A and B are shown apart, each in its own frame.
Chain A
Amino acid sequence: MKKLISLVILFISIFSFQNHSISAEKIKFLETDWTFKGLFGKYDRGALQRGYQVYTEVCSACHSMQYLSYRNLAEPGGPEFTEQEAKFIAASFEVQDGPNSEGEMFTRPAKLSDKFVMPYDNVEAAKAANGGAYPPDMSVLAKARKGGADYIYSLLLGYDDPPANIKLDDGVYYNKYMYGNKIKMSAPLSDGLVEYSDGTQATEEQMAKDVTTFLMWSAEPHLETRHKTGFRVIVYLIILSILVYLTMKKIWSRVETKV
């Protein structure tokens, strides 16, 4: 038994060590207190709603979120706008629909079932408008980068003057946390860039934190259910293990061999 447990621990530590050693090949990311970390982690609704605002007002000019629909904004575990608010948000975007009975495409206000409107028609158009660099789709971005939320948060706040030995071309910026330190996105956030309706001070850090929370949710929309279910499942498994252990002891007591 003890051997078994120690082996399990050994393997887990190998995994985590391995992962750690891969992701830690660069510098340490900025740290902040995420509410969604830990066994009972949940998203901060306020941060999600503010984060959505930052996304729409700032990021969405270049970054798509093609896997999200407006209905997601009202779903439990997310920003939890009311259905009316989500409908109102959706209606402020125009989407193409059709063909109608005359065979023509037309535009109409978006509905809850529509996907987020994309800033560019396709990847090529996005590249052309951004000096050849494709602004990545943000739907699963928080899972698509080593370091996840910490990385995105750090990147947003990692703009700095380049060290003397690094020369930057036009349209290229220096970022401490970017892979290779060169990034084609200019610093997207600055104090007071958006005006939060809930009265929160829109500092650069606050906006970075909010929008990162929003991106984490968009990448992992069922995180809260996952944590909740996981806790129940593990508690159940532990209880059942104890019961099975007692049953096992009972059964094996018929033969005098230790289990």
Chain B
Amino acid sequence: MSDSHYTPKSKVGKWFNDRLPLLTLANHLTDYPTPKNLNYWWTFGGILTFCLITQIVTGLVLAMHYVADTKLAFASVEHIMRDVNYGWLIRYVHANGASMFFLAVYIHIFRSLFYGSYKSPREIIWIIGIIIYLLMMAAAFMGYVLPWGQMSYWGATVITNLFSAIPFIGEGITTWLWGGFSVDNPTLTRFYALHYLIPFLILGLVVLHIWALHVPGNNNPVGIEIKKPSNDTVPFHPYIVIKDAFALLLFMIVFAFFVFYTPNILGHADNYIEANPLVTPAHIVPEWYLLPFYAILRSVPDKLMGVIAMFSAILILVALPWLDTSKVRSAVFRPLYKQFYWILVLDVLVLGYVGAMPAEGLYLLVARIATAYYFIHFLIILPFLGFIEKTNPVPLSITEPVVAGAAMATRSDGENKIENNLKSLG
């Protein structure tokens, strides 16, 4: 890496850095050469970091007041909403924060799909990302169980019953997951413990995700490898930091709107009814971010096959770097892939929609077609596209298409500063 020869200026700094090179790390992070053509879709990495920290901090606070006991859980959540100072705010931020987290992660994933960020040499970043996404789903699901409302209870029942589809050992696994013969107090307490643990696993994986990113450096909208540092790059700080901050603020405005004005729109009314093991709500659906997978699960008539299809839909993403055979990364230069990309986006949205609808009639038919297409996209279309697609010419550098910009960027910051000062004087 370019910054391995960094030495702190102060004596104390040097003394410290020789023993623990934190300053070298900080220097690496601030100087990290970033492609300067990154668009706003690239700001979601920073936004996701914000989401994770927000969830951990608000979750920690909620844990100070929440009681993981089937007799008290619902009441303790009401206690948080009514009596705890700012409890309503903290809980609504946490609950809506989960949705915002998934919103951001979906944009992040689809950005990667569009610009081919999962391709060599970034396969490990991508796979760590998929593991993070899986852990996020686990954390979100277990978190949703904690308020012990009707949806909590029945969601937990349905999801844990998925494992009973496994031949021979399935029943044993569900009983083991439950710690009993149905979802009950032992299930709640273990879900609580795991819900607390998983975010820290995610945090660790995020560190690896960023570490793996900093080895080859960022992909960029043009999708070409660039020389770092060069005219094509800017230091992470302040350029990318300030841009991420701006995007984060816009994201926070949307977030705040949900929290303060429609805090329950993404949830289900039934979860404000305390769990009742004797009555199932009329219409069970998972949270919106799990709906596409729920649709895939229900579109397969066989119990075991449905579960396999659902898990495959996620695991297939792990193989994506090898399923996509095209040498060109960015969809900008792949006219055919670009079209299939948007069809896939539409397909996932359709799956999400039918996932929220009753599994019958036309909805079921649409779900089946959309499920089939999802797998066809990854297993058939992508591998073939690499061979048959005629890609557009790819530029050699980011600055190449913009001649004037290239000339400007060769000048040092100092010169630009002087010129700016002159300009504002004039």
Q: State if A and B touch, Cβ cutoff 8 Å.
A: yes
Residues in chain A within 8 A of chain B (CB atoms): 1, 3-4, 7-8, 11-12, 14-16, 18-19, 21-22, 39, 67, 72, 136, 139-140, 143-146, 148, 179, 219, 221-222, 225-227, 229-231, 233-234, 237-238, 240-241, 244-245, 247-248, 251-257, 259
Can you name the residue of chain A whose Cβ is closest to the Cβ of B233?
A255
Any A CB within 8 A of the CB of B88: yes
User: Is there contact, CB below 8 Å, between A254 and B247?
Assistant: no
User: Is there contact, CB below 8 Å, between B246 and A255?
Assistant: no
User: Is there contact, CB below 8 Å, between A11 and B409?
Assistant: no
User: Is there contact, CB below 8 Å, between A241 and B260?
Assistant: no
Q: Knowing that A21-B357, A252-B239 are A-B contacts, what are 6 other residue pairs whose CB atoms are under 8 Å apart, sorted by A's residue number? A: A12-B254, A15-B266, A22-B356, A226-B260, A231-B260, A237-B253
User: Is there contact, CB below 8 Å, between A241 and B404?
Assistant: no
Q: Mark B256-275, 1 if CB is under 8 A from A, else 0.
A: 11011101111001101100
Q: How many A-B residue pairs have CB under 8 A?
A: 125
Chain A residues, CB < 8 A from B349: 14
Choose from A179, A233, A254 the contact partner of B282 (Cβ within 8 Å).
A179
Chain B residues, CB < 8 A from A248: 242-243, 245-246
Of B193-201, B320-328, B413-421, the one touching chain A: B413-421
Choose from B78, B234, B252, B253 the contact partner of A255 (Cβ within 8 Å).
B234
Given A3-B40, A234-B257, A254 contacting B249 (CB threshold 8 A): no
The CA-CA distance from A244 to B247 in the complex, in Å, is: 10
Residues in chain B within 8 A of chain A (CB atoms): 36-37, 40-41, 75, 78-79, 81-82, 88-89, 92, 103, 107, 234, 238-239, 242-243, 245-247, 249-250, 252-254, 256-257, 259-261, 263-266, 269-270, 272-273, 282-283, 285, 288, 349, 352-353, 356-357, 404-405, 408-409, 413, 416-417, 420
Can you name the residue of chain B whose Cβ is closest to the Cβ of A226?
B260
User: Is there contact, CB below 8 Å, between B353 and A257?
Assistant: no
Can you name the residue of chain A whose Cβ is closest to the Cβ of B404?
A256
Chain A residues, CB < 8 A from B41: 4
User: Is there contact, CB below 8 Å, between B75 and A219?
Assistant: no
User: Is there contact, CB below 8 Å, between B256 and A230?
Assistant: yes
Max chain B C-beta neighbours (<10 A), residue from A230, A245, A254: A254
Can you name the residue of chain A whose Cβ is closest to the Cβ of B110?
A7
User: Is there contact, CB below 8 Å, between A136 and B266?
Assistant: no
User: Is there contact, CB below 8 Å, between B288 and A244?
Assistant: no
The CA-CA distance from A22 to B353 in the complex, in Å, is: 10
Given A143-B269, A241-B250, A7 contacting B107 (CB threshold 8 A): yes
User: Is there contact, CB below 8 Å, between A244 and B245?
Assistant: yes
Nearest 4 pairs of A and B residues by beta carbon: A230-B260, A144-B272, A256-B408, A241-B249
User: Is there contact, CB below 8 Å, between A256 and B238?
Assistant: no
Chain A residues, CB < 8 A from B257: 230, 234
Chain A residues, CB < 8 A from B404: 256
User: Is there contact, CB below 8 Å, between A140 and B252?
Assistant: no
